[in-house]
Amino acid sequence: MADDLQTFRTRIRRYLRETNADTSFWTEPFLNQMFNASYRHRCAQLIMAFEGFFTQVATRDLTADKDTYGLPEGTQRVLKIELVRSDGTTVPLERWERHDESNPTSTNSSVGDSYLPNYRPLSNGFKLEPGPTETVTDGLRIEYSGVPVILSANADKLHPSYPELLDELLVLDTVVLALQAEGVHEAGPQAAIYRMRSEWEFQFERFIEQRFVSRDRIDPFIVGPDIDY
């Protein structure tokens, strides 16, 4: 059975050799904060593996003459956007960034099960091109990587997607953070803080590389007549 937050703190304190929280340098709330920081750090790496970790599914109504839709709250990475047909089958949409074509108007779009738009990211959502002309309940299906809930109560456990066999890594991550925090308090070395920040910054740069998982589509160049300059 997976450990809860209270058990994780006990394991952490064994490494720190301060098993009594009342007399410890590291308070319970501070250990919780560092453990959750390590937890989310590792969760971000799992999401970047594109292996379906922390996947959730949400639906949206297709609304006539509305082409822009918001993402579910807590969306970290969009894995797939699909249209739901009248018989329950789903059709994935392609991401298409327009740079040299006009946006098809809704009046020219097909209707019913023949409606198949492209989408492009827009702010905290996406835009369908062309927009729908009919309203369809739960006509959009979105697969996305969500935010794992932080652990705050003693009985809280890790998300089921986190590999249970590797939970010791979270314990060791927290121990290292705790020792670094003690070093900052004792001697005030800025290098430890700078190193911690640089590690998070590196992960941030990797994480934002692709928020929408999509298949690249490239139109080939059209070979024209030779031009003499």
Query: Which residue, among 104, 153, 116, has the nearest Cα to 5 in the 3D structure?
Result: 153
Task: List, in order, residues 6 or more apart from 200 with CB less than 8 Å away.
Answer: 41
pTM: 0.77
pLDDT at 132 (0 to 100) = 93
Do residues 38 and 174 make contact, with C-beta atoms less than 8 angstroms apart? yes
Give the DSSP letter of residue 71.
Answer: P
Q: Please state, in angstroms and rounded to a whole number, the distance separating the CA atoms of residues 130 and 119.
A: 9
Tens digit of each residue's pLDDT (9 = 90 or more) over 122-181: 888 999 999 999 999 999 999 999 988 899 999 999 999 999 999 999 999 999 888 887
Neighbours of 100 (CB within 10 A): 5
Structure tokens, 122: 């827009």
Rounded to a whole number, what is the distance in angstroms from the first to the last CA of the chain? 75
Tens digit of each residue's pLDDT (9 = 90 or more) over 82-137: 999 999 999 999 998 888 778 877 766 777 889 999 999 988 899 999 999 999 99
Q: Residue 66: pLDDT band by 50, 70, 90 thresholds?
A: very high
What percent of the chain stands above pLDDT 70? 85
Q: Please state, in angstroms and rounded to a whole number, the distance separating the CA atoms of residues 164 and 167.
A: 5
Greater model confidence, 208 or 54: 54
pLDDT at 185 over 90: no
pLDDT at 215 (0 to 100) = 66
pLDDT at 71 (0 to 100) = 94
Q: Please state, in angstroms and rounded to a whole number, the distance separating the CA atoms of residues 177 and 31.
A: 9
pLDDT at 219 over 70: no
Structure tokens, 152: 């705050």
